[in-house]
Structure 1
Amino acid sequence: MGYRTIVGLEIHVELSTKTKAFCSCSNEFGGEPNTRVCPVCLGLPGGLPVLNENIVKYAAMAGMALNCEIQKKSKFDRKNYFYPDLTKGFQVTQDDMPICQEGYLEIEGDNGPKKIGIFQIQMEEDTGKSLHSEEQDTLMDYNRCGVPLIEIVSKPDLSSGNEARLFLEKLKSTLRFIGVSDCKMEEGSLRCDVNVNIEDEETGKRTAVTEVKNLNSFRGVEKAIDFEVKRHIELLKNNEEEIRTTRRWDDAKNETVLMRVKYTVADYRFAPEGDLPPVVLTDEYIGNIENELPELPEAKKNRFVKEYNIPEYDAEVLTSTKELSHFYEEVADHFDDFAMISNWVMTEVLRRVENIEESFELPFEASDLAELLKTIKKGSINNNAGKKVLREMFETGKKPLDIIEEKGLVQISDTSAIEEIVDKVLGDNPQSIEDFKAGKDRALGFLVGQVMKASRGKANPQVVNKLLQEKLNS
């Protein structure tokens, strides 16, 4: 007996505009509670909304990046419900005429490449935030009221927690690349709700859809879906019925927990937002936005493979953020061993950068790394010395050639100078010579190590190997 997993996502993304959706209040994370508010975002009598044009632009950019059809005419609606974080008693959103429809994002699914459909992208405003104290009091911070959002509604095309995570990772990378959002989950800039149910492929019977909220990481999304899949399969196996529920993910228990049961369909009484006119876009306006759209991650990855002749995995890592890809290309402008750049950036550079998604500000220029790599390739210093230089560059921001001179790291490539050291090492280690002649390969490695130690790591390893082998075989 087989089961089919059906997963759809509702993703809320805060847009990185300078001001809020319908007023001039600052759109910044944090701040003292209730200091970034005005009559409009607080919903006070007489406050009238004025649409921030950049919301339209950013929503259209997101739609284009996700292969959506940009609607020339869309409208805003009022979604009515009552909750302390919603001061007006309704949310300004888009219902039946959203700005973007019918798109997709392609991922490497569980069984190969797979297009995940995008049902629609709608513009809307965020709500306030409830703060719960240890004394069981609930305080309201309305700084977030009116922050511009897009809600991206996927089609139920995802088949596992793994596919959902891959979709979200690619979506985040894409939105960050085009600069419409910072997508910081820890600050609430990207929030995701999951809808999941199971179908018995033999009988066609399906479980009721479960909505999982309060997911604060992509790994949490994956784990919540996997947990729900197992739970729904057990429901089918035991022939149990469960009406539609809303659950939350509990990290401590590693399971979903029931929040509420949906006995009735929510009646939001959608109605056109009378204070905002319809959004009408011309072909010229849409064309101008399309021309401004930067190169997207997938296209950039494919170009890196072709232009720099590096493996697809390397290209995928190097194009994971706009800042990292830009840094790689800057180094490549100054140095043409693209594979060597890739190797050093992915290993020595990235392991010293805590979070490439938040910041890729380095204490040195891309041209400085290129200069260091040129020096290594010329044989002026060896790899180990190069790593020491890079560490110093991270710590002090000094130029690589200055560090090499200060530390005396220039590699000895003069054969006669190295030969003197080799002769002394051979004279001090007669047993290793006998071991080598007896076929023990490790003896050569030991002798190389001794020469490098005697030269304080400055001897050219290739010259050392050549001289030792010549002398041992003679």
Structure 2
Amino acid sequence: MAFDKALQSFEPVLGLETHVELGTESKMFCGCATGFGEPPNTQVCPTCLAFPGALPVANEAAIEATIRIGLALNCSIAEWCRFARKNYFYPDMPKNYQISQYDEPLCSDGYLDVEVGGRTFRVEIERVHLEEDTGKSTHVGGATGRIHGADYSIVDYNRAGIPLVEIVTKPITGTGELAPEVAKAYGIELREIMRSLGVSDVRMDQGSMRFDVNVSLNKPGEPWGTRTETKNVNSFRSVERSVRGEIERQAYLLSEGGKITQETRHFHEDTGTTTPGRSKEEAQDYRYFPDPDLVPIAPDVAWVESLRASLPELPRVKRLRLREEWGVSEHDMESMTNAGAVDLVEATIAAGAPAADARKWWMGELARRANESGTALADLAITPADVARVTELVASGALNDKLARAALEGILAGEGTADEVVAKRGLQIADEGELAGIIEQVLADNADAAEKVRSGKVAAVGALVGAVMKLSRGKADAGRARELILEKLGVS
């Protein structure tokens, strides 16, 4: 059913579960390294492989990071809590249980405000708890990359035991037709908070931030409907599309007299649709019980308050301040946030660039190149200082926009600093003497066009300027060339 039509009959209720791998140097319960992309099964030890007799020890840095996340999300911090064993078998869980938190999370009852469409939506946080990540299974053969139809599976335990924070919202209501955008905005705001706290690289392409998206529909005034849970959604665009797609799918089924099955679902990037995973008609019995090998956590109140006092300026507050300082619209700031450009623009301004120029290059040429290469803006091989130097060269008249783009291209290609690229590529704009000589040549070669300008047809000067730009290989300043041509032809 079309999205607009679905919202005429049904109200959506959302829920989001976000998993964030913490950027600690060692794993949650052992001293193994946590670097991404290392050879399989090289960052393991008897503890994270669950050898008999190997005992876990909690990572203090992970506990501190989780408390800071909870404080940033306006949560209450438990004065006493403990870890539990969540018992289930998967080949990527060496112990056959996961150390997690059950009925006693470290952080609870918080909220996060997000702005969408000129409105503020308060997303209430049910809990923020700390656990360990699983290993990574790869299913080889078959068409889907899933276990069904695969020829065999291999397991990499490097990820098993990495500290993992799970942030669970309460049901999100009242979003109406903005439900997909609210889900996306919430995810983006969470990412910005994690970045500002410095607790995770939140690389969605590497799985260090991923979402489970819950959606249900009900008719106005009726009880909430049966929910589905779309698992492991790994981009903000996919969060938005999965919500939209589930609303359309569920609305069609309900309008046809069908029934929604409580189940997990898989999102397909190519089609924007979901397919069934496993049924969750009944609550899974994970046989939780307190882990006997780990002591309870009892954060000292004074320590928690010192962490609260040390929190950085949070993204929403910072954006409001920067909007005023930079004189940009809410839409422009939202675009920069979505692109991950706010900190880059700020650093470029701090390096000496005007605010408008910093935004122009990061949100224009550099954003285009990032999109083309499938790279995050912050991961481009260029620094804010590089961009600031390019803007300085443009402001001085040494480069025009075309040459500036070539300079940025050279920096991205690893050819050196802005000044080194300009020198190596010969990008310096033509000086007045060189430009005068080029204009003389162009006027001699285009006598008819020159005569038209002399006779009052000033629009014809465009062809002459174009010829100057061509002869100078783009190094001339087009505006200055036009001025000199008109001056030479005696046209005011």
Q: 2:169 & 2:70 partners in 1: Cα distance? A: 12
**CA distance 1:392–1:419, change in 2 (3 Å):** same
Which structure 2 segments of 5+ residues have no match?
1-7, 142-149
* 1:55 aligned partner: 62
Q: What does the per-residue CA deviation read over 1:349-371, in whole Å, with 9 as the maximum and x for residues that have no partner?
A: 44445423562442xx6445434
SS at match of 2:57: coil
* 2:246 aligned partner: 228
Q: 1:307 & 1:275 partners in 2: Cα distance? A: 53
Q: 1:423 & 1:31 partners in 2: Cα distance? A: 62
Q: 2:183 & 2:328 partners in 1: Cα distance? A: 28
Instruction: Give how far 1:164 is off.
Output: 1.6
* 1:173 aligned partner: 192
Instruction: Give how far 1:140 is off.
Output: 3.8
Q: 1:179 & 1:451 partners in 2: Cα distance? A: 51
**CA distance 1:240–1:41, change in 2 (3 Å):** same
SS at match of 2:187: helix
Instruction: Give how far 1:167 is off.
Output: 1.8
Q: Tell whether 2:45 aligns with 1:41.
A: no
* 2:146 aligned partner: none
SS at match of 2:379: coil
Larger mean CA deviation between 35-44 and 311-320 belongs to 311-320
Instruction: Give how far 1:311 is off.
Output: 4.8
SS at match of 2:229: strand
**CA distance 1:73–1:239, change in 2 (3 Å):** same
* 1:149 aligned partner: 164
Letter of the structure 2 residue corresponding to residue 24 of structure 1: G
Q: Tell whether 2:311 aligns with 1:293.
A: yes
Q: What does the per-residue CA deviation read over 1:319-340, in whole Å, with 9 as the maximum and x for residues that have no partner?
A: 6688x55554444344353322
Q: Tell whether 2:149 aligns with 1:131.
A: no
What TM-score do you get using the length of structure 2 for normalisation?
0.83
* 2:145 aligned partner: none
Q: 2:369 & 2:479 partners in 1: Cα distance? A: 29
Q: Tell whether 2:402 aligns with 1:384.
A: yes
* 2:207 aligned partner: 188
1:161 to 180, 188, 191: 180
RMSD: 3.2
**CA distance 1:254–1:347, change in 2 (3 Å):** closer
Larger mean CA deviation between 66-75 and 116-125 belongs to 66-75
- C-alpha contact 1:129 1:140 (8 A) present in aligned 2: yes
**CA distance 1:86–1:356, change in 2 (3 Å):** closer
- C-alpha contact 1:110 1:163 (8 A) present in aligned 2: no
Q: 2:443 & 2:459 partners in 1: Cα distance? A: 15
Q: What does the per-residue CA deviation read over 1:357-391, in whole Å, with 9 as the maximum and x for residues that have no partner?
A: 562442xx644543443332232443333333333
* 2:391 aligned partner: 373
Q: What does the per-residue CA deviation read over 1:128-177, in whole Å, with 9 as the maximum and x for residues that have no partner?
A: 33333336334444333322111110122164233222222222232133
- C-alpha contact 2:344 2:378 (8 A) present in aligned 1: no
Q: 2:394 & 2:167 partners in 1: Cα distance? A: 48
* 1:359 aligned partner: 379
Which structure 1 segments of 5+ residues have no match?
none
1:332 to 319, 344, 349: 349
**CA distance 1:229–1:348, change in 2 (3 Å):** closer
Larger mean CA deviation between 281-290 and 368-377 belongs to 368-377
Query: Aligned pair count?
Result: 468
1:282 to 300, 321, 338: 300
Q: 2:324 & 2:27 partners in 1: Cα distance? A: 42
Instruction: Give how far 1:213 is off.
Output: 2.0
2:32 to 25, 39, 47: 25
Q: Tell whether 2:86 aligns with 1:79.
A: yes
- C-alpha contact 1:404 1:410 (8 A) present in aligned 2: no
Q: 1:78 & 1:194 partners in 2: Cα distance? A: 24
What TM-score do you get using the length of structure 1 for normalisation?
0.85
SS at match of 2:483: helix
SS at match of 1:7: strand
1:446 to 460, 463, 468: 463
Instruction: Give how far 1:409 is off.
Output: 2.3
Q: 2:428 & 2:83 partners in 1: Cα distance? A: 66
1:9 to 4, 13, 16: 16
Q: 1:376 & 1:265 partners in 2: Cα distance? A: 63
Larger mean CA deviation between 405-414 and 77-86 belongs to 405-414
Q: 1:243 & 1:452 partners in 2: Cα distance? A: 65
* 2:129 aligned partner: 122
Percent identity between the aligned chains?
A: 35
* 2:74 aligned partner: 67
**CA distance 1:311–1:142, change in 2 (3 Å):** same
Larger mean CA deviation between 73-82 and 402-411 belongs to 402-411
Q: 2:201 & 2:436 partners in 1: Cα distance? A: 58
Letter of the structure 2 residue corresponding to residue 148 of structure 1: P
Q: Tell whether 2:102 aligns with 1:95.
A: yes
2:119 to 112, 117, 136: 112
- C-alpha contact 2:49 2:95 (8 A) present in aligned 1: yes
SS at match of 1:63: helix
Q: What does the per-residue CA deviation read over 1:269-308, in whole Å, with 9 as the maximum and x for residues that have no partner?
A: 3322222222111233123323443333333333333334
Larger mean CA deviation between 433-442 and 289-298 belongs to 433-442
SS at match of 2:252: helix
Instruction: Give how far 1:14 is off.
Output: 1.4
Larger mean CA deviation between 269-278 and 454-463 belongs to 454-463
Q: What does the per-residue CA deviation read over 1:96-120, in whole Å, with 9 as the maximum and x for residues that have no partner?
A: 2211112222223356221212111
**CA distance 1:34–1:290, change in 2 (3 Å):** same
Q: 2:44 & 2:421 partners in 1: Cα distance? A: 52
- C-alpha contact 1:327 1:366 (8 A) present in aligned 2: yes
